Amino acid sequence: MTKPIILTGLRANNDLTLGNYFGGMLPIIDMAQQKSDEYQINMFIPDLHSFTTPIKHELLYSQIIQTAKLFAAAGLPLDNDSIYLYRQSYVPAHSELTWILDCFTYTGELARMTQFKDKSNLDESKLLLLKKEQNKLLTLSTSVGLYNYPVLMAADILLYGAKYVPVGDDQTQHLEFTRDIAERMNSKFGELFVVPEAVKKQHEFFGNDQGLRIMDLVDPTRKMSKSATSDKGVIFLSDTPDEAAKKIMGATTDDKAFVAYDPLEQPGISNLLQISALLSGKELEAVIEKHAGQERYGDFKKEVAEQVKSFLVHFQEQLKQVDEAAVMSKLESSEKAMNEQANATLYRVQQAVGLRPKA
């Protein structure tokens, strides 16, 4: 019997952040380390997603390999046959299924996606226009790739029949879309796809009560993001430990002088509490309790800065130890196996839509 699949992907167009690490990478690596006898683990680099917004193409290939090495440094076991590490563009079925799903996706569904709205820099007037006349979308200077990428993401998941997909809170909407398109195709063509578990069940499976969202240190009302305009609020896995500690010390807080977890009233302090919990591996409640009422933000920040520093020292040491040849060999063997699994799904879909003869 085939094992249920846990799958996630992290884009490689820039250095990964602390948000990527805790939101997307660590949950699947924990599963890979603990549950690979029960589950198949698919960890991949969605390289075709890398240029939905402009990037430096001359850097992309080396960034992809670097990202694969980051996964290994974070503890993804390479010598385990239930764990696959692959690059999306090396499995052409991803692109092909995307096209087919495109033809069953409504433009309105994609125009609603928050990530699309955020990243296409639509100002209020354009948004208003969008709401009034969805068709005007096509005249705006945003790439079709950015608009369309949730469909590619759905194909990434559905090709393998993944049941659990650990992602940060910003990707929840895309996961819901994946479920919608899978159910739509299943009701039109019969049981074609495994529908991934609903978001609430996903959180239960990964032991969370909600999706994770690490905030920018300078503007804690925004998500920490590799595409942020300033690096000051973003901790990258390649920051020197001292640089990262400085960013924590410079984090925006408030004038309440009272440590409390209140994301609305005290977003900066709440974000630091969250980061501290993740870095120490403790429950958020325990960290909140430990610091509750602390009046000197400087002392609290120093503690978090030290945690970030020792995390990065350790991580970067692990990265130095990664054997690039072993990573390349894992990529190649996984890509061979994934082409087989993905092509089998694609063929069933091609049959269902009439592109291939029915058996």
Question: Which of the residues 117, 119, 290, 302 is marked catalytic?
Answer: 119
Q: Which is nearer to ligand TYM, 5 or 10 (CB)?
A: 10
Residue from 3, 35, 112, 213 that binds ligand TYM (CB under 6 A)? Answer: 213
> Is 87 among the residues that bind ligand TYM (CB under 6 A)?
no
Residue nearest to ligand TYM (CB): 23
Residue from 153, 228, 245, 269 that binds ligand TYM (CB under 6 A)? Answer: 153
Three-state SS for the chain is: CCCCEEEEECCCCCCCEHHHHHHHHHHHHHHHHHHCCCCEEEEEECHHHHHCCCCCHHHHHHHHHHHHHHHHHCCCCCCCCCEEEEEHHHCCHHHHHHHHHHCCCCHHHHHCCHHHHHHCCCCHHHHHHHHHCHHHHHHCCCCHHHHHHHHHHHHHHHCCCEEECCCCHHHHHHHHHHHHHHHHHHHHHCCCCCCCCCHHHHHHHCCCCCCCCCECCCCCCCECCCCCCCHHHCCECCCCHHHHHHHHHCCCCCCCCCCCCCCCCCHHHHHHHHHHHHHHCCCHHHHHHHHCCCCCHHHHHHHHHHHHHHHHHHHHHHHHHCCHHHHHHHHHHHHHHHHHHHHHHHHHHHHHHCCCCCC
Residue from 6, 29, 47, 49 that binds ligand TYM (CB under 6 A)? Answer: 49
* 119 in catalytic set: yes
Q: How far is the CB of 268 from ligand TYM (least distance, A)?
A: 14
Q: Which is nearer to ligand TYM, 57 or 131 (CB)?
A: 57
Q: Given the rule CB under 6 A, which of 182-190, 210-218, 239-247, 286-294 is the region that contacts ligand TYM?
A: 210-218
> Is 273 among the residues that bind ligand TYM (CB under 6 A)?
no
* 358 in catalytic set: no
Q: Which is nearer to ligand TYM, 181 or 212 (CB)?
A: 212
Q: Which is nearer to ligand TYM, 131 or 282 (CB)?
A: 282
Question: Which of the residues 226, 232, 246, 290 is marked catalytic?
Answer: 226
The 225-264 site mask, x for binding ligand TYM (CB under 6 A), equals x---------------------------------------
* 200 in catalytic set: no
Structure tokens at 215: 């905030």
The 159-198 site mask, x for binding ligand TYM (CB under 6 A), equals ------x-xx-xx---------------------------
The site for ligand TYM (CB under 6 A) is made up of 7-11, 19-20, 23-24, 46, 49, 153, 156-157, 165, 167-168, 170-171, 212-214, 223-225
Positions marked catalytic: 119, 223, 226
